[in-house]
């Protein structure tokens, strides 16, 4: 029988093995990392009955062989999963893989944390910076105004209206002076989407990270619409990346899921040293344990299954999206198309700097665009609604990053609840339609868009 120290020694051996596997995965190409992560033959044979795919552990809890192992595990002195609200062996494989993908092409070491949704990832990633600290001025958040509707509401309703935390919106994220004018000693973190959903606004991650760090605060980036196949913000100085893994990361659409990836030693003027040293692992073991936003292990494995083909999916979607953006841009019934791949994109230089298909020399600008339909009078949406209702194959839904092409009329859906003022901050006009390009043949997508135009 092992005593407590015996178990702790065993735990150290397991941790050394994990380090070795991370090192091995760091030498692989992106698709190989996405396919294998840390799960290998040796682990399959020793612990998982030889299963070549990562098994789904539905069990809520883990058993221990004796009180010494339990004591070592529950004091977090050995790798353990204890209880599926905190950790789970299936979820572990997803978390390790996304941490590797977000740091791909660098020697940055990061940790991952999977959550029940993208919104809970954002909440879990931001909560720890908003805690009370009597030595600091009242907290404020500095964030791009052009963010996902749910994020806007989380910040504006939950953080500001309910909790009184000031939210300072950045209206022109390309303008570094605006960031500088809004950050002060009360700012706890800086937040932006890259690119923003649905307005496709981007910002200079490197400069904004540098600015945030000069105030000793972290930059948090929602990279849902780029995915690590295109942009990896940690490589440009961001501290934490959040994802709605409900989107392109799981493009075949089986689950709602969120992911957080934090590099080691984030910059923050608040929080314990353990938090700064390894934010995602700390968040998982402490606040996450108490708040309970964990993902279901089945959803974790389905997300992981889709994530293996992320690069190929994003490549195909991005190529088709560019073709469709060009078609729409030249269409007489279109007012404007925002897509980072178009020469007319106002932040084209930044897009070219940050958006490349990983492991290729090609640029890739993602699957999402915002198209504005020509109206007789500004502020109207008559033609827009006719176009939208004329679509046949393309789905009318509030979804994106899917293998199926989806169109969203944002002013009446994703951005309905934030009102006129909120929509104008977010740059959402009544004639704006977000198109998320899937993996169908682009000719068929264009033929369906024609049906929409012929209904105007
Ligand atoms: C969808 C989305 C979210 C929210 O994710 P859920 O998984 O739906 O909770 C957050 N950010 C962006 C950019 C999104 O597109």
Q: What is the pTM of this model?
A: 0.97
CA of 6 to the centre of ligand 1 (A): 44
Angle between helices 442-454 and 310-329 (to 10 degrees): 40
Q: Indicate which residue's Cα is closest to atom 2 of ligand 1.
A: 244
pLDDT at residue 424 in the model? 79
Work out which ligand 1 atom sits closest to the CA atom of 257: 7
Q: Is the CB of 367 under 6 A from ligand 1?
A: no
Which pLDDT score, from 0 to 100, does residue 387 have?
98
246 Cβ inside 6 Å of ligand 1: yes
For 100-158, what is each residue's pLDDT tens digit? Answer: 999 999 999 999 999 999 999 999 999 999 999 999 999 999 999 999 989 999 999 99
Quick check: is 218 in a domain? yes
pLDDT in tens, 204-237: 999 999 999 999 999 999 999 999 999 999 999 9
Q: Is 419 exposed, middle or buried (0-12, 13-18, 19+ CB in 10 A)?
A: exposed
Which range (292-296, 373-377, 415-419) has the least confidence? 415-419
Q: 31-35, 333-337, 420-424: lowest mean pLDDT where?
A: 420-424
Is there an atom of ligand 1 within 6 Å of 201 CB? no
Separation CA 257–CA 248 (nearest Å):
11
Number of other residues whose CB lies within 10 A of the CB of residue 350: 21
Q: How confident is the model at residue 75 (pLDDT cuts 50, 70, 90)?
A: confident
| Same domain flag for 257 and 398 | no
Task: Quote the ligand 1 centre to 399 CA distance (angstroms).
Answer: 9
Supply the CATH number for residue 152's domain.
3.40.640.10
Query: For residue 227, which of 244, 208, 207 has the smallest C-alpha distance?
Result: 244
Other Cβ atoms within 10 Å of 444 Cβ, number: 12
Burial of 103 (0-12, 13-18, 19+ CB in 10 A): buried
CATH number, domain of 318, equals 3.90.1150.10
Give yes or no: residues 364 and 339 share one domain.
yes
Q: What is the dihedral of CA 163, 168, 169, 171, to 10 degrees?
A: 170
Q: Could you tell me if the CB of 191 is within 6 A of ligand 1?
A: no
Q: Are 277 and 265 in contact (CB under 8 A)?
A: yes
Listed residues 282, 307, 332: the one ending a domain: 307
89 part of a folded domain: yes
Position 418 scores a pLDDT of 75
Ligand 1 in reach of 401 Cβ (< 6 A): no
Q: Which of 238, 272, 307 is the last residue of a domain?
A: 307
Of the chain, the percentage scoring pLDDT greater than 70 comes to 100
Residues 225, 292 share a domain: yes
Please give the distance, rounded to the nearest whole angstrom, from the Cα atom of residue 376 to the centre of ligand 1.
Answer: 33
191 lies in some domain: yes
Q: Ligand 1: distance of its center to the CA of 49 in Å?
A: 36
Distance from the CA of 122 to the center of ligand 1, in angstroms?
Answer: 9
What is the pLDDT of the chain when averaged over all its residues? 96
Tell me how far the alpha carbon of residue 415 lies from the centroid of ligand 1, in angstroms: 13
Which residue range is the domain that position 422 belongs to?
310-453
């Amino acid at each position: 029988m092992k005593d407590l120290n015996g178990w702790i020694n065993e735990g150290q051996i397991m941790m050394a093995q994990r380090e070795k596997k991370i090192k091995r995965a760091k030498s692989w190409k992106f698709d190989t990392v996405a396919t294998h992560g840390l799960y290998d033959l040796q682990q399959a044979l020793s612990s998982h009955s030889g299963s070549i795919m990562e098994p789904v552990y539905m069990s809520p809890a883990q058993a221990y062989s004796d009180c010494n192992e339990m004591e070592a595990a529950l004091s977090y002195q050995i790798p353990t999963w204890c209880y599926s609200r905190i950790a789970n062996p299936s979820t572990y494989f997803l978390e390790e893989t996304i941490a590797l993908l977000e740091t791909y092409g660098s020697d940055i070491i990061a940790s991952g944390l999977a959550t029940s949704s993208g919104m809970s990832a954002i909440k879990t990633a931001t909560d720890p910076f908003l805690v009370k600290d009597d030595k600091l001025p009242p907290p404020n958040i500095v964030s791009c105004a052009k963010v996902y509707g749910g994020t806007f509401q989380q910040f504006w309703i939950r953080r500001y209206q309910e909790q009184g935390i000031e939210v300072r919106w950045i209206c022109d994220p390309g303008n570094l002076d605006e960031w500088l004018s809004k950050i002060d000693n009360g700012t706890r973190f800086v937040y932006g989407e890259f690119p923003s959903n649905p307005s496709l606004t981007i910002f200079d991650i490197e400069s904004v990270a540098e600015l945030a760090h000069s105030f000793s605060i972290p930059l948090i980036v929602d990279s849902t619409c780029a995915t690590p196949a295109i942009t990896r913000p940690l490589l440009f100085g961001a501290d934490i990346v959040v994802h709605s893994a409900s989107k392109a990361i799981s493009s075949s659409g089986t689950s709602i899921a969120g992911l957080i990836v934090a590099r080691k030693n984030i910059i923050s003027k608040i929080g314990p040293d353990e938090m700064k040293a390894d934010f995602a692992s700390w968040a998982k073991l402490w606040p996450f344990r108490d708040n309970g936003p964990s993902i279901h292990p089945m959803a974790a494995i389905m997300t992981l299954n889709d994530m293996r083909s992320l690069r190929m999916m994003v490549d195909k979607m991005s190529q088709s999206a560019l073709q469709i953006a060009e078609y729409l841009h030249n269409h007489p019934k279109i007012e404007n198309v925002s897509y980072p791949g178009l020469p007319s994109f106002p932040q084209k230089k930044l897009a070219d700097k940050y958006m490349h298909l990983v492991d290729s020399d090609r640029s890739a600008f993602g699957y999402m665009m915002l198209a504005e339909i020509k109206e007789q009078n500004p502020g109207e949406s008559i033609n827009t609604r006719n176009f939208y209702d004329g679509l046949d194959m393309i789905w009318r839904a509030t979804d994106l990053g899917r293998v199926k092409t989806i169109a969203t009329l944002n002013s009446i859906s994703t951005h309905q609840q934030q009102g006129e003022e909120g929509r104008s901050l977010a740059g959402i006009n009544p004639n704006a339609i977000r198109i998320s390009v899937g993996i169908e043949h682009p000719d068929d997508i264009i033929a369906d868009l024609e049906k929409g135009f012929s209904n105007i």
